[in-house]
Amino acid sequence: TGSYNARTSVWYGYNSSTNLMIAPRFDVKDVQSTFRVVVDAASIISFQLPSGDFKRGDSTTTSVTIKNIGTTTRSFWVGLSFQKPDGTWYDVAPRQTNTLSPGYSQTLSFSWTILNDAPIGYYNARTGVWNGYNSSTNLMIAPRFDARDVASAFRVVQQDSSSITSFTATSG
């Protein structure tokens, strides 16, 4: 919030080569106004990821803490994605924060399961806080206020396979 002065003038013309107004000046209006600058902004305060080795079908949780660092009370959308070893991305369903006043934060928890067809290898993780989400197109709505990336966040390993060490056949 602040007080600002503005001046507007009506001139005979404008010379684009000199970037100057052409006299005479016919009228001048000075205005003083107080207004509030509105800023929508959010920051990722923490990004807590699972670590270590996981098998297909394992369930885990990721948490993301968002802080409203703007001047307006509003909600934000948080996306969570994992980059597979082959470079393609898997997106977890985005979540919306509660309505946050400036300076307030919220932690969102994303519970998800390693897919049964998940490729073996290391996964990168990315989270972002966005202006909105379009459920029709399944796309986040710009601007993206903040993002965090973590390389090799966790690894999907091969399932333990049971092996038969011996067996006895009987005839009957």
Q: What is the pLDDT of residues 52-73, one digit of tens each?
A: 999 999 999 999 999 999 999 9
Judged against a pLDDT cut of 50, whether residue 160 lies above it is answered with yes
In this predicted structure, what is the pLDDT of residue 127? 98
pLDDT in tens, 107-122: 999 999 999 999 999 9
Read off the pTM.
0.73
Judged against a pLDDT cut of 50, whether residue 164 lies above it is answered with no
In this predicted structure, what is the pLDDT of residue 1? 56
In this predicted structure, what is the pLDDT of residue 161? 59
Using CA atoms, how far apart are residues 31 and 37, in angstroms rounded to an integer? 17
pLDDT in tens, 11-28: 899 999 998 899 888 888
